């Protein structure tokens, strides 16, 4: 399984050329295993970005999210109490963004890498990253 950071999810779902070739290969490989995921926090973040006009989707947000949820190889990971607690107590993590904290805590909880371009996450060395 791999976890897609918010931007990676949008770029992958919208089939943009913004994903690195390494990221695209990793996602394609996991599609075959039925194991591509994203934090439910990413859905929240995408809704905020759409509402603010910072992200444009090909369809309305309801349809876009539903189309992801029906894919047999994709799922949103809920934020449970363990992920919420871990996000607050990440070791050596000064990054304040709550969405990034939840996404990193989710990857740690699942023991999976994150597909991300985010330099703060990649430099943290807390989780394995793919880019």
Q: Please state the pTM of the whole predicted model.
A: 0.95
Span 5-61, pLDDT tens digits: 999 999 999 988 999 999 999 999 999 988 999 999 999 999 999 999 999 999 999
Phi, psi of 19 (to 5 degrees): -70, 145
Number of domains in the chain: 1
Return the residue matching tokens 């793919």.
Answer: 130
Q: Determine contact, residues 38/4, Cβ cutoff 8 Å.
A: yes
Cα–Cα distance between 39 and 105 in angstroms, integer? 10
Nearest in space to 43 (alpha carbons), one of 30, 57, 29: 57
Position 1 scores a pLDDT of 97
Residue 77's CATH number: 3.40.50.1010
Question: Containing domain of residue 32, as a range?
Answer: 2-130
Residue 95 has pLDDT above 80, yes or no: no
pLDDT at 33: 87
Query: In the prediction, which pLDDT does 94 show?
Result: 79
């Amino acid at each position: 399984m791999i976890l897609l950071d918010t931007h990676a999810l949008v770029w992958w779902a919208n089939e943009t050329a913004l994903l690195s070739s390494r990221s695209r290969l990793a996602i394609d490989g996991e599609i075959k295993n039925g194991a591509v995921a994203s934090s439910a926090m990413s859905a929240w973040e995408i809704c905020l970005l759409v509402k603010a006009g910072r992200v444009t989707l090909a369809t309305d947000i309801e349809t876009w999210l539903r189309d992801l949820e029906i894919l047999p190889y994709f799922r949103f990971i809920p934020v449970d109490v363990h992920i919420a607690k871990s996000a607050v107590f990440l070791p050596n993590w000064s990054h304040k963004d709550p969405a990034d904290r939840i996404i990193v805590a989710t990857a740690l909880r699942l023991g999976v890498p994150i597909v991300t371009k985010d330099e703060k996450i990649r430099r943290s060395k807390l989780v394995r990253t793919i880019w």
